[in-house]
């Protein structure tokens, strides 16, 4: 029987589905060597430079042998505790290993489907703030995308597994988690030539010239750090007193610990009560006066305040035994006396920033105990008094690390070298402050960009042994101030006796003085307290001029038990918190009087601001 010819032709109603084209691995031309001969010559140079680098490193290390502890961060103790906790619960470790295996199987399947041309979502993506994988080939090139996702899976698994280990006390868990993250950050594919697409392209296209220049940069940084790698974070384009720290003023007092700067007025009238600022001695004061457009000092004089700022000395071994109490007497008390001689005002408003604020808090407790009323109000910028939840810096204050730190300081003549303090702070944000510069300076062979904030960050100071160990032990380790167990000058410090007005500034993303830690101070003082939270972190949260129109801040007149409750009832305002503080401070600053200039009072100028102490360099 003949088949009907009225139906559709075969395949007409059900055409075969077209298979997707396999996805390209990316533009391989970008990774083609430009000149093999030149590349070979540069690799010879790289080999020679590497030998020189290793020789110089060995030379510096042999000179230092026996003078420093072998394990200053107590890594051995930390990971022995971790290993013992893991062995006590083998089932959990097997389950964690199986989870990692399953994740890898999912990644392999995803990669295979993508190679066959399917559009697939990534198995894992970087955190929104992670800047390491911004190059296009981390997304567009299958090989590098697989490397990226493989790393992220492993790093996330490693950190979550350590965080979930049972049987560790909270302090040991925090240390283990912190150092595990440091290891994961160090092993990122972005930090190696062959697994970073940007670096690999630069190496091929420049015939390895980037690596030659990078090793030159590394050698220079090692020499500058006397055997340690002192990474340059900013081009050396700044001169203190020339293009940063340029607000006009005078040094009107000087002793062993500080120079007191009085700034010229910029208004015809000023408030009668002056403002005295104590920055941290861990860094130099000119974070408050980088450039005119972001200078806190310039803004304050523009609001009609007579501004005094302590510029702490960069201490050497002669000051190794200066104590925390010396910083109170020869620092705060000496400055208060000088301000009174310069202005005739007995009780200025006072500010303490970071550790300068911790010193001011303890000093207020001592003054309350001795009925000393030389301070009218106190403002604290990113300053802690209760250290029970003081952030990642608590990781460095176990007994083993403090003993090792004391050994290091004694080997250095009784001071902590500035480079060691800088390394500690840089570790808190290692991807931004260490590894990004390793890639830029050493792998890409570039010079860092000129950046005033990072120049200041690298302009380190030394710490005197007696003061620094007291600070770490009594505040970070023992939390003695908030517990009422701290004594200064034989007086027990009770902050409830401090009745003067207090303004507490915190920053939402502060990783050095967390806002939750600063909020605890609202329950410590005995007088009226105003607490605000600014956007950003430890520096940008404080130094945020209104003209920049950046970030935001929150206020809440109520002070509930926890910062979470405070935030729930807080109102958000755009921009800088400075006007809020100005509104509070101006009411405590007295009437307006004709502007006073440095030298108008009993103290005559000793030189121009920013003075000489700020220019003393530290290793």
**Other CB atoms within 10 A of residue 532 CB:** 20
Q: What angle do CA 609, 414, 321 make, to 5 degrees?
A: 75
Q: Identify the CA nearest to 310 among candidates 255, 365, 361.
A: 255
CB contact set of 598 (below 8 Å; sequence gap of 6+): 249, 250, 252, 262, 263, 264, 342, 605
Task: State the catalytic residue, choosing from 328, 354, 369, 405.
Answer: 354
Q: Identify the CA nearest to 533 among candidates 511, 561, 514, 560.
A: 514
Separation CA 619–CA 317 (nearest Å): 13
DSSP E strands: which ranges in 334-419?
349-353, 377-381, 415-416
Q: 563-601 burial, b if ≥16 CB within 10 A, otherwise e?
A: beebbeebeeeebbbbebbbebbbebbeeeeebbebeeb
Residue the block writes with tokens 């005295």:
276
Separation CA 496–CA 512 (nearest Å): 25
Q: How far is CA 8 from CA 4, 12, 13, in A?
A: 10, 6, 7
- Do residues 287 and 362 make contact, with C-beta atoms less than 8 angstroms apart? no
Upper half-sphere CA count for residue 14 (Cβ side, 13 Å):
1
Separation CA 547–CA 550 (nearest Å): 8
The string of DSSP codes covering 396-408 is G-SHHHHHHHHHH
* Residue 212 phi, psi dihedral angles, 5° rounding: -60, -50
- Do residues 294 and 545 make contact, with C-beta atoms less than 8 angstroms apart? yes
- 3-state DSSP assignment of residue 244: strand
- 3-state DSSP assignment of residue 278: strand
Q: How far is CA 611 from CA 205, 249, 250, 329, 599, in A?
A: 48, 9, 8, 21, 15
Separation CA 330–CA 333 (nearest Å): 6
395 exposure class (CB count in 10 Å sphere: 0-12, 13-18, 19+): buried
Bridge partners of 262, per DSSP, are 250, 308
Separation CA 281–CA 360 (nearest Å): 13
- Is-cis flag, bond preceding 610, omega within 30? yes
Confirm whether 515 is a catalytic residue: no
Q: Which residues are catalytic?
A: 354
């Amino acid at each position: 029987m003949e088949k009907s010819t009225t139906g559709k032709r075969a395949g007409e109603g059900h055409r075969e589905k077209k298979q997707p084209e396999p996805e390209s691995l990316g533009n391989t031309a970008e990774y083609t060597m430009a000149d093999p001969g030149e590349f070979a010559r540069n690799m010879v140079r790289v080999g020679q430079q590497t030998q020189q680098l290793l020789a110089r490193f060995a030379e510096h290390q042999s000179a230092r042998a026996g003078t420093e502890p072998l394990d200053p961060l107590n890594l051995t103790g930390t990971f022995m505790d971790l290993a013992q906790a893991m062995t006590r619960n083998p089932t959990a470790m097997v389950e964690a290993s199986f989870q990692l295996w399953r994740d890898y199987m999912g990644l392999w399947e995803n990669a295979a489907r993508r190679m066959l041309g399917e559009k697939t979502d990534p198995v894992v993506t970087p955190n929104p703030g992670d800047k390491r994988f911004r190059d296009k080939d981390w997304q567009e090139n299958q090989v590098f995308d697989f490397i990226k996702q493989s790393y992220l899976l492993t790093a996330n698994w490693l950190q979550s597994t350590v965080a979930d280990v049972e049987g560790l006390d909270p302090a040991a868990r925090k240390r283990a988690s912190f150092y595990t993250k440091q290891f994961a950050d160090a092993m990122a594919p972005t930090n190696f030539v062959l697994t970073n697409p940007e670096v690999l392209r630069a190496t091929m296209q420049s015939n390895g010239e980037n690596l030659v220049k990078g090793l030159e940069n590394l050698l220079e940084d090692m020499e500058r750090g006397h055997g340690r790698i002192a990474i340059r974070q900013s081009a050396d384009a700044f001169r203190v007193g020339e293009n940063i720290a340029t607000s006009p003023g005078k040094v009107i007092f000087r002793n062993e610990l500080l120079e007191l700067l009085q700034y010229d007025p910029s208004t015809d009238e000023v408030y009668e009560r002056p403002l005295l600022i104590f920055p941290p001695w861990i860094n130099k004061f000119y974070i408050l006066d980088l450039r005119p457009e972001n200078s806190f000092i310039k803004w304050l004089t523009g609001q009609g305040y007579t501004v005094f700022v302590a510029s702490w000395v960069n201490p050497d071994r002669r000051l190794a035994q200066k104590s925390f109490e010396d910083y109170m007497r020869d620092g705060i008390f000496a400055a208060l006396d000088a301000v009174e001689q310069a202005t005739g005002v007995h009780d200025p408003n006072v500010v303490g920033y970071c550790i300068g604020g911790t010193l001011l808090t303890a000093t207020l407790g001592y003054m309350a105990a001795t009925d000393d009323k030389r301070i009218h109000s106190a403002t604290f910028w990113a300053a802690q008094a209760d250290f029970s939840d003081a952030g990642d810096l608590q990781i460095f204050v176990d007994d083993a690390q403090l003993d090792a730190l004391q050994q290091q300081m004694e080997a250095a003549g009784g001071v902590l070298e500035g480079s060691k303090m800088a390394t500690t702070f840089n570790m808190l944000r290692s991807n931004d402050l260490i590894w990004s510069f390793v890639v830029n300076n050493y792998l890409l062979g570039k010079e860092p960009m000129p950046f005033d904030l990072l120049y200041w960050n690298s302009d380190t100071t030394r710490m005197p042994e007696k003061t620094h160990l007291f600070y770490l032990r009594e505040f970070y380790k023992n939390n003695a101030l908030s517990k009422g167990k701290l004594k200064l000058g034989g007086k027990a410090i009770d902050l409830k006796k401090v009745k003067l007005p207090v303004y507490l500034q915190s920053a939402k993303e502060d990783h050095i003085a967390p806002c939750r830690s600063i909020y605890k101070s609202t329950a410590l003082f005995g007088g009226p307290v105003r607490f605000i939270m600014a956007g950003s972190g430890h520096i940008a949260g404080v130094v945020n001029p209104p003209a920049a129109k950046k970030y935001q801040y929150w206020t809440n007149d109520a002070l509930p038990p926890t910062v979470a409750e405070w935030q729930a009832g807080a109102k958000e305002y755009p921009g800088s918190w400075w006007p809020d503080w100005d509104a509070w401070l101006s009411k405590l600053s007295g009437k307006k009087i004709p502007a006073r200039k440095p030298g108008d009072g009993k103290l005559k100028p000793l030189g121009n601001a920013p003075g000489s102490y700020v220019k003393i360099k530290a290793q």
